[in-house]
Structure 1
Amino acid sequence: MSEISIAARAVPPGLRSFLRTEVGGTSVLLAATLAGLLWANSPFGDTYETFWHTELAARIGGHTVALDLRHVVNDGLMALFFFVIGLEISREVRIGQLRDRRMIAVPAVAALGGMAVPALIYTAFNAGGPGAGGWGIPLASDTAFVLGLLAVIGTRCPEPLRAFLLTLAVVDDIGAILVVAVFYTESLSITALAVAVLLTGLIVAARWLRFWRAPAYLLLGFGVWAAMLESGVHPTLAGILLGALVVVYAPSGHKMLRANELLRELARDPSPELAIEASRTVQRTVSVNERLQLLLHPWTSYVIVPIFALANAGVRLDGDTLRAAATSPVTIGVAVGLLAGKFVGIALGTWLPLRFNWGVLPGSLVWGQALGGAAVSGIGFTVSLFVTDLAFADDPALQSQAKIGILAGSLLAAGFGWLVFRMAWDRGAVCAPPSREAQIPVEVEPLPPVTDADHVRGPMDAPVTLVEYGDYECPYCGRAHPVLEELRERFGDRLRVVFRHFPLSELHPRAMAAALTAESAADHGRFWDMHDTLFRNQLALSDADLNSYAESMGVPLWSDVERHRHRVMSDMEGGERSGVGGTPTFFINGELYEGRHDAPSMSAAIDAALREQTGDRH
């Protein structure tokens, strides 16, 4: 089973882990945001600013560093957040999706468009006014909220879309950080900046000399952060710089073989020395970068970013504030920049590289999905609040107006994204693997005849046969499933339904395992019971889930995997010869059905087939 699961996965494990953490942290981030708003608008609202302006000071010899609590969060804790972003950027550039120019061209240009257009829109509303410096506020999307919303919307072919948005977010983050470094640094201390550069050089030298002592790196990293703080460059930039310097490498076959040998030796002759060596060797099969991400990402997602939201999202929403915001060019510029600017910029940035063949979309993304992703990317929060604090540090009124614009624009973008997804994914949609055209044969053969080996519902002598090529993880197959039940109920013995497997492993990593589970059930006369269960539980197809379904039916799993795999592949090969290129694909009495996958449309096609059988052409 492990080989099947690994072969079926289309998205790298590190990326899947990153996505799961971002989505899981969304609820905590949302709760912290609401808590900040409620606190600032409660009868004790005055204590909100008082608390966050509480000063903390540290004295080292004759030198004192004093920061209030908000700056401890924004300048200190957020450096760790940007450190994790630096880790992710470094991993993607060196061993991830950002190595492939054609794979990054589309999301990279889309990200640039998604930054340029919102900035231009904001500037159009604020040029020459007191809020002109806030043009960087609507630039960046909030990855956690965007991915969390996708989970709530109910994903359709989700992994390629999420991979696209994550790549876009990485480029988006790089752009936003450069904007902060270049345009939001008011004064610069050359001496302190030189110290930061020197310490960074020492870190690079230690890497080159293969000196791996964590305390030394921690001390040097803290020194870089402190020097950045003193230099006038925002200290969080030290985080992304240090993250980008952390060693990252793909798993090495040599290291994995050595770890395997040590583990076998430990099993034969255990000793403390061998246990320590085996532990270190196993640990080194995964790069420091990925180990740090595993360690720190939950802390940034579940603790640091929510604390940042609590410290910065609190804005008074009384009548006077809302009236001022309703006519404020800052509020309007931010809201329109996030809502319209992000959508238009990302849409244009996606279209241009595709039009000129600079790159490709991952998986089988279609325009409806890409536009939905562009719409929800207008949710700007963490970095937008961060830039607001820098742009309007000395103007609380403009800060308040900008924050209201961020909240309004993000909520509108979420609603607009939901609407685009609902409009784009109709019942006639099909999941198709990458390069679908290359998989369709030049000469299409007739549909393989229905035999006793097929999975059939309905009498064998029914005048109409409907054959479905489907995939248990395909969302469109899931939407078509109740339609087929309705058709069977309506036409009764006049219709037989045949299901043939066509798992799209490039898109749906659990599809093959689910198909093999259905075949295991078929050996015990429970195919259709398992078939219905799998479609009812499309979002729960893990190994544990499949085992649970099988146990509930008394079906042993993985007893004859190769025979079942051959059965599934036979269905796929026959379908490909007949022109099947995606799921679901339907044939009615051997003829490809090309209509919508709703009950009225398919009923009309079946009625026509019945009339054909009886000779009634009218």
Structure 2
Amino acid sequence: MLRAFFRTEAGGTTVLLVATVVALLWANSPWGDSYEAFWHINTGLSFGDAHFMLDLRHWVNDGLMAVFFFLIGLEVSYEVRLGQLRDRRLLAVPAVAAFGGMLVPAAVYLALNFGGPGASGWGVPIATDTAFVLGVLAVVGARCPEPLRAFLLTLAIVDDVLAIMIIAIFYTDSLALPALLTAVVLLAAILTLRWLKIWRAPAYIVLGFALWVATLESGIHPTLVGIALGILVFVYAPTDHKLLLAGEAVQGFTSSPTAEAAREATRRVQRAVSVNERLQLRLHPWSSYVIVPIFALANAGVRLDGETLSAAMTSPIAIGVALGLVLGKFVGIALGTWLPLRLKWGVLPGNLVWGQLLGGAAVSGIGFTVSLFIVDLAFDDSALHDQAKIGILAGSLLSAVLGWVIFRLAWDRGGVCAPPDAEPSEDLPKTLAVPVGPADHVRGPAKAKITIVEYGDFECPYCGRLQPILEEVRRSNPDVRVVFRHFPIRTLHPRAAPAAIVAEAAADQGRFWEMHDILYANQRFLTDADLEHYAAQLDVDPWTDVPRHVARIAVDEESGQASGARGTPTLFLNGVRYEGGHDLDSLTRAVEDLRESA
């Protein structure tokens, strides 16, 4: 789910950026007056004598964005039940970081605006724009590992929830009790349908639209309706029974490919997946490529003439927003990450180092969608509007640049995990110090002509990417065997050594390679509880005879050090250190060259 989310959101960043540029060009063109005039065109619905009218900007901000926040509700529901947020230890650090990333920017802003006309805009610099952040991370590429993306996505989800709570609590001017009571009744009706397990989409659409209208009329911002309905959508892991029925239906279509069999297979496969996940799959492209870009087009247009820019350069509102995003977000997220780690409230996913975390904290200062959203709620004066928007644009641009610079300067080994002091001044050995023996973990024929020895770490992301490639090389070449030796980098990967111990416990029962594959398939989930769960799957007691397993791992580490291994993965082909690429083509060519030379 996270990878699909990343692909969609990062891809939609380009469309969002184009919409922002178009809005700025439109607002600053000779036809700039038409920008505001267009978005203030009134449209609406009429039912007899009753009229419901909004201008185009409010239809976008209050209507389309409710769908955006509905999608956030779906994501929150999924992550809490099946995803990252179900593990409290993984949730604690990004949750506290998100809180710090809202508290400090608000404090920075209020330090410049408290008691002034811009005081109500303290909520503008608190939110992170997930789409733009993921777009920057896509540009950063390999310097941003998958665990950092997972960390920032979790942070962004918590950030979104907190931002919506702030909008609902602090940016609601007045309440209309009749409309509010109507909204409560409609929400109760939706909950009743859910409790009765009535899954008719038209009923939910009608009640949902009525709830949106009632909430809007009550004075509470209707985005709250979006996230509430999203959270209420059912999410569940596929049951064995549903998977069995889906498999039988697909097999039936394979043996008899008729239209009726195709329809039945489609229906069974869809029912195996929760409604939440299906809705996310359908709505993500609409949100990323349509709704959010239209929102940017309707709200990002601000005049950038000399008078406006001069006013913004001395405006505490613009300066407060920019500093809140650049400085406040960076300091707040960094402190919010350090504190729970220091107090041992939680753990980080994967092998993150502080250079990567600080880069992530910097790019989290890109505040756009929700920031623009709050500007519209916080200020009535158009001049204050423009100053806040200029602050958002300047702060977001500076945050993106700062994050890119930090990622460039942060430690990066280009595909190998190693501690910063790993490279010694002397020349490293080129040959394997300890030949392969009976105690090694070997996958492949005992008399193979070519032996690939890997010094690996179960938490190293590069080792994880290498595993399917090594397996494909072995499958395609019957005369190749693969040997795995432990080389946990404890300074970077705190869970690598416990994972290695559990792998050795599995090896005692002849199940090393099964555990090896499970650990690499679940690299982001290597807590003690996770390891015990994987061991239970293989009927292994993970913590028996730990001293012996630690000694066994130390033997591998000593042989790796003697052979010149300083990072992971380090490969030896027939006893000679391999220095080529870790892709399938490069390794295949190396194997073929060895075969020819032999």
Q: TM-score, normalised by structure 2?
A: 0.75
Match of 1:326 in 2: 313
Aligned partner letter, 2:58: H
Match of 1:449 in 2: 434
Query: By how many angstroms is 1:346 displaced?
Result: 0.4
Match of 1:513 in 2: 468
Is the 2:129–2:369 contact (alpha carbons within 8 Å) kept by the matching residues of 1?
yes
Is the 1:432–1:504 contact (alpha carbons within 8 Å) kept by the matching residues of 2?
no
Question: Following superposition of structure 1 onto structure 2, how do residues 308-457 of structure 1 map, counting pairs within 5 Å?
Answer: 308-392=295-379, 394-427=380-413, 431=417, 448-449=433-434
Match of 1:77 in 2: 64
Query: By how many angstroms is 1:430 displaced?
Result: 5.3
Is the 2:341–2:347 contact (alpha carbons within 8 Å) kept by the matching residues of 1?
yes
Question: Following superposition of structure 1 onto structure 2, how do residues 57-456 of structure 1 map, counting pairs within 5 Å?
Answer: 57-156=44-143, 158-267=145-254, 276-392=263-379, 394-427=380-413, 431=417, 448-449=433-434
Q: Deviations over 1:204-240 (max 9, x none)?
A: 1111111111100111110110111111111122111
Query: In structure 2, do the counterparts of structure 1 residues 228 and 521 end up closer, same or farther at CA, with 3 Å as the change threshold?
Result: same
Is the 1:504–1:511 contact (alpha carbons within 8 Å) kept by the matching residues of 2?
no
Query: By how many angstroms is 1:265 displaced?
Result: 4.1
CA distance in 2 between counterparts of 1:282 and 1:77 reads 30
Query: By how many angstroms is 1:417 displaced?
Result: 0.6
Query: By how many angstroms is 1:280 displaced?
Result: 2.4
Query: In structure 2, do the counterparts of structure 1 residues 591 and 20 end up closer, same or farther at CA, with 3 Å as the change threshold?
Result: closer
* Secondary structure class of the residue paired with 2:173: coil
* Secondary structure class of the residue paired with 2:26: helix
Aligned partner letter, 2:409: M
Structure 1: segments with no counterpart, 5+ residues: 1-13, 434-445, 453-497, 528-564, 598-618
Query: By how many angstroms is 1:427 displaced?
Result: 4.0
Is the 2:39–2:56 contact (alpha carbons within 8 Å) kept by the matching residues of 1?
yes
CA distance in 2 between counterparts of 1:352 and 1:579 reads 35
- Once the two structures are overlaid, the 10-residue window that deviates more, 53-62 or 30-39, is 53-62
Question: Following superposition of structure 1 onto structure 2, how do residues 550-569 of structure 1 map, counting pairs within 5 Å?
Answer: none
Q: Deviations over 1:279-338 (max 9, x none)?
A: 322211100000001111100100010000011000000000000000000000000000
Match of 1:502 in 2: 456
Aligned partner letter, 2:461: L
* Secondary structure class of the residue paired with 2:302: coil
Match of 2:563 in 1: 590
Query: In structure 2, do the counterparts of structure 1 residues 20 and 284 end up closer, same or farther at CA, with 3 Å as the change threshold?
Result: same
- Once the two structures are overlaid, the 10-residue window that deviates more, 373-382 or 269-278, is 269-278
Query: In structure 2, do the counterparts of structure 1 residues 423 and 214 end up closer, same or farther at CA, with 3 Å as the change threshold?
Result: same
Aligned partner letter, 1:449: V
* Secondary structure class of the residue paired with 1:129: coil
Query: By how many angstroms is 1:72 displaced?
Result: 0.9
CA distance in 2 between counterparts of 1:366 and 1:289 reads 34
CA distance in 1 between counterparts of 2:256 and 2:377 reads 60
Query: By how many angstroms is 1:522 displaced?
Result: 6.1
Aligned partner letter, 2:563: G
* Secondary structure class of the residue paired with 2:69: helix
Is the 1:110–1:348 contact (alpha carbons within 8 Å) kept by the matching residues of 2?
yes
Is the 2:108–2:328 contact (alpha carbons within 8 Å) kept by the matching residues of 1?
yes
* Secondary structure class of the residue paired with 1:67: strand
Q: Deviations over 1:254-281 (max 9, x none)?
A: 1101222233345556777665444322
* Secondary structure class of the residue paired with 1:58: strand
Aligned partner letter, 2:135: G
Aligned partner letter, 1:590: S
- Once the two structures are overlaid, the 10-residue window that deviates more, 109-118 or 233-242, is 233-242
User: Percent same amino acid among aligned pairs?
Assistant: 62
Q: TM-score, normalised by structure 1?
A: 0.73
CA distance in 1 between counterparts of 2:453 and 2:258 reads 56
Query: By how many angstroms is 1:42 displaced?
Result: 1.0
Match of 1:45 among 19, 23, 32: 32
Is the 1:503–1:512 contact (alpha carbons within 8 Å) kept by the matching residues of 2?
no
- Give the number of aligned pairs: 485
Is the 1:157–1:507 contact (alpha carbons within 8 Å) kept by the matching residues of 2?
no
Is the 2:74–2:227 contact (alpha carbons within 8 Å) kept by the matching residues of 1?
yes
CA distance in 2 between counterparts of 1:521 and 1:277 reads 37
Q: Deviations over 1:327-381 (max 9, x none)?
A: 0000000000000000100011101110011000001111111111111100000
Match of 1:542 in 2: none
Match of 1:54 among 37, 41, 48: 41
- Once the two structures are overlaid, the 10-residue window that deviates more, 351-360 or 420-429, is 420-429
CA distance in 2 between counterparts of 1:342 and 1:316 reads 26
Is the 2:233–2:276 contact (alpha carbons within 8 Å) kept by the matching residues of 1?
yes
Is the 1:503–1:515 contact (alpha carbons within 8 Å) kept by the matching residues of 2?
no
* Secondary structure class of the residue paired with 2:52: strand
Query: By how many angstroms is 1:399 displaced?
Result: 0.5
Query: In structure 2, do the counterparts of structure 1 residues 190 and 580 end up closer, same or farther at CA, with 3 Å as the change threshold?
Result: farther
Aligned partner letter, 1:339: V
* Secondary structure class of the residue paired with 2:286: helix
Query: By how many angstroms is 1:155 displaced?
Result: 2.6
Aligned partner letter, 1:311: A
Query: By how many angstroms is 1:431 displaced?
Result: 2.8
Match of 1:22 among 9, 18, 25: 9
Query: In structure 2, do the counterparts of structure 1 residues 108 and 579 end up closer, same or farther at CA, with 3 Å as the change threshold?
Result: farther
* Secondary structure class of the residue paired with 2:322: helix
Query: In structure 2, do the counterparts of structure 1 residues 432 and 79 end up closer, same or farther at CA, with 3 Å as the change threshold?
Result: farther
Question: Following superposition of structure 1 onto structure 2, how do residues 484-499 of structure 1 map, counting pairs within 5 Å?
Answer: none
Query: In structure 2, do the counterparts of structure 1 residues 97 and 329 end up closer, same or farther at CA, with 3 Å as the change threshold?
Result: same
